[in-house]
Structure formats: C-alpha cells, structure tokens
Amino acid sequence: MTEYPSSNASSTGEAPAYGTGDATYQAAGGLDGITRLVNRFYDNMERLPEAAALRAMHPEDLTESRQKLVFFLSGWMGGPKLYARHYGSISIPKAHAHLPVDQSSRDAWLHCMAQSLLELDYPAPFRDYLLQKLAIPAESIRLMCEFHQSQPGSTDP
C-alpha cells in the first residue's frame, strides 16, 4: 500500500501529497480559496506595522497586484496557469529585481502569508508545507534584488 505522510492523508488515506498534480491547488480551495488567501494577504500587508516598508514598494491601488498574485499562485500550485494565459511568461526573481527587497521585506512578505493562512484556518501541515515552498522563491527574489542593488548604476528597472 502506498504510504502518504500521515499529516497529509485524508480519512480514506487517498489524498495525494501536496505538490503532486493539483493537490496543493485543491488543498488551498481552488481559485476561490486562493482568491480569499491573496485578499487576506494584501489586507494584512496594509494592516500590519511590520509590513509597512513592503506595502510602500507596491502601487497605491492593489487591485492589479491582487489579481496577478491569484493568477500566479493558481498555476504555481498546480492549477490552471492563469498568469501565463493573461500576462505571458514570468520569471519571479526578475519581476522583482527593480525592488529594494532585503531580508526584512522578504520576512514581512512571508509573515503576511503565514498570518493569512492561520486566520483562514488552513490545517497546520498545509500551512507549513506552503510556507516552506514559498520561502524558496522569496529567497531567490532577495538574492536577485540584493545582487541588482549591488551593481553600479542599477537604478533602472
């Protein structure tokens, strides 16, 4: 019998592991769940004092930021590739290279996400899994941004 991590098995033992097919997308609640998560994430970014510098990097109107993150996460979690369909291909580190991201804004981004996952009552194993996975592109962004900032004359996007 196939063994799944106990923390990730449904009561029937049939749930595929997160990261397999669209299991992560389904566990997030599909597009509705991701939309709720992203909305809560940006609401938290607006609300939490420790996210003030992160918020200041964003446009005043967050409508497009919300939409783009929902579309991106849909494909990234194994669901429909909505970002590619609507906006074309994207390299996440390069899309952020013009921003002054450092350790503290990276941590603030992850904190807003952690807080949102908690508030929306996702199970702990899913929260832990997703945060670990999100920490990977978040760290790539930080490295890309710090490299970009270290280059002479790197003020252009």
C-beta of 134: minimal distance to ligand HEM in Å? 5
Asked if residue 97 binds ligand HEM (CB under 6 A), the reply is no
Pick from 34, 45, 74, 142 the residue near ligand HEM by CB under 6 A.
142
Stretch that binds ligand HEM, among 8-16, 19-27, 36-44, 68-76 (CB under 6 A): 68-76
Stretch that binds ligand HEM, among 8-16, 30-38, 39-47, 55-63 (CB under 6 A): 55-63
Tokens of residue 71, six digits: 């579309």
Asked if residue 96 binds ligand HEM (CB under 6 A), the reply is yes
Pick from 3, 10, 59, 61 the residue near ligand HEM by CB under 6 A.
59
Range list of H helices, 48-123: 52-57, 63-76, 82-87, 92-96, 103-119
The Cα–Cα gap between 112 and 60 comes to 18
88 burial level (CB within 10 Å; 0-12, 13-18, 19+): exposed
Asked if residue 109 binds ligand HEM (CB under 6 A), the reply is yes
CA distance readout (Å), 133 to 13, 110, 130: 23, 11, 5
